[in-house]
Each structure stands twice: as structure tokens, then as C-alpha cells.
Structure 1
């Protein structure tokens, strides 16, 4: 397994059916990039991309959207956007990700919330907030009488 790429690999942009914007490095920066008509065999579909890259895939049903989202070894975070919060909540419940957001961005930082991914994503655990009590300590119960 190769490590995740910090940005879309050159092959991801060149293999896309259509680059709507971005796609080329500008010195040390990688501009926001939208890749359209992505297919499941393409690197932009298979790789976990850490950068301003949005691979676009279309779907017709909620079941197909869940299948696409779960068709990966990665599972760090996801976002579902919908006019119907109950529908989005039902979809989020079917996604294999460590974090999920409804009508929000996938990169949110809350110091009180556990952080981690599923599968090959994240750190393999849930750390942060009160989860640290379990992650970084061993619980021990001790008793002592009132007098020796």
C-alpha cells in the first residue's frame, strides 16, 4: 500500500475525464482543483487525497451514493448535503467513516470531540477530548479502610 499523497498526483489530474479548474501545481502551491467525470479505476477515485481537490462522481440513488462512498479502503471523514436533515442523517449512518458532517465541511476541528478514521485512514484510534482518558490511561480501582 502506498502512502496517501499530499495532493492529487499528476496522474490523477491527467487521468481525469475533465479538469474543470486547477490541476497544475503553482510553485509550492496546488490550486483548488475540480475533476469531473471520474471513474472508479482512476487514481482520483482510488487514492486518499489531502489537498484542495474535489473528484466529482454522479449517482442516481441514495444506495448508489453510499456504495460509492464506501468503495474505498479509506474512511477518514465525509459530508452529506441535503435539504432533508433526516435523509442526510440516515445516509451518514450508512457511511464507514470516522467522522461525518451534515450540510458542513469535512474538515472541522473540535477539541472536545474524538478524532480518527476507519480503515486505512487517520490514526486508527479515536483520540481527542474525553476519549483521551481511555486512550492514554489505564483505569485502576483502589480501596483503603478508614483506619489501619
Structure 2
């Protein structure tokens, strides 16, 4: 899967798990992409009572690049979950803020550009009819040229 390069600033965030946990949900991974053409892990929800909400740095739509110095840019979803489970009380994340929105926007622009450059259905129909016409003329020419007088 293609890994999109982003021009976003990376931030290092340190969270203490505490009694309420880290307090956020993730989606994504190499085996179940959350964003088209990207195998990253993305924050999809910040729970009000967790460490992430209390800290305020992590946001919905952030792409998680590292968990305690472990690169998670191209891992299966369960590997990222396992990293969080085994991370201990102090969890250090490296993230790109707003990556999900930017990646989705870039994907939509690329789809629209492809659609704009693709031949329209009326153009394709015209080409098909012209091809049939040329073939028909060829058959008629062959019949006229080879018929016996």
C-alpha cells in the first residue's frame, strides 16, 4: 500500500495512563486501512475521562507514527493495539496533527482529477459508433470489390 508523505509537523506527546487509561480509540493499519492509500494508525475518538483529553495535545484525526519509539506507520492494526497494551504507564507518541483530513482531501482531489481526465461516456459511445461505422464501410468495400459480375 502506498504510504503518503505529509508536510505536517510531527509532535511528541507524553501521556500517563492513570486510572482512566489513555482515553482514545484508533483505527487503521496495513490490514484494515482507515484512510484510502494510507496504512497508518489514526485517532478516531478522544474520550472525555482519559489521559489524552486531560492533556489536550492529541486530537481526533491525528496519525500516530510512533508508540514508545516503535514505528507504527505500516503495521497491522493488532500490532498497534498490542503496542498500546504493553506500553506501560508512561506512553510517548509521535503524531502528525490533522493528517486524516489532509490525506482524505488529497485522495478526493486525485479521484476528481482522474475523473476529469477520463473520457466521458458520450465520447466513448462516439468512438464505438465510429469504429462500427469504419468496420461496416470496410465490409461493404470488401463485398463490392470481390463480388462476381
User: Under a length normalisation based on structure 1, what TM-score does the superposition of the two structures give?
Assistant: 0.27
- State the structure with more CA Rg: 2
Higher RCO (CA 8 Å, separation ≥ 6 residues) = 2
Q: TM-score, normalised by structure 2?
A: 0.27
More strand by share: 2
More helix by share: 2
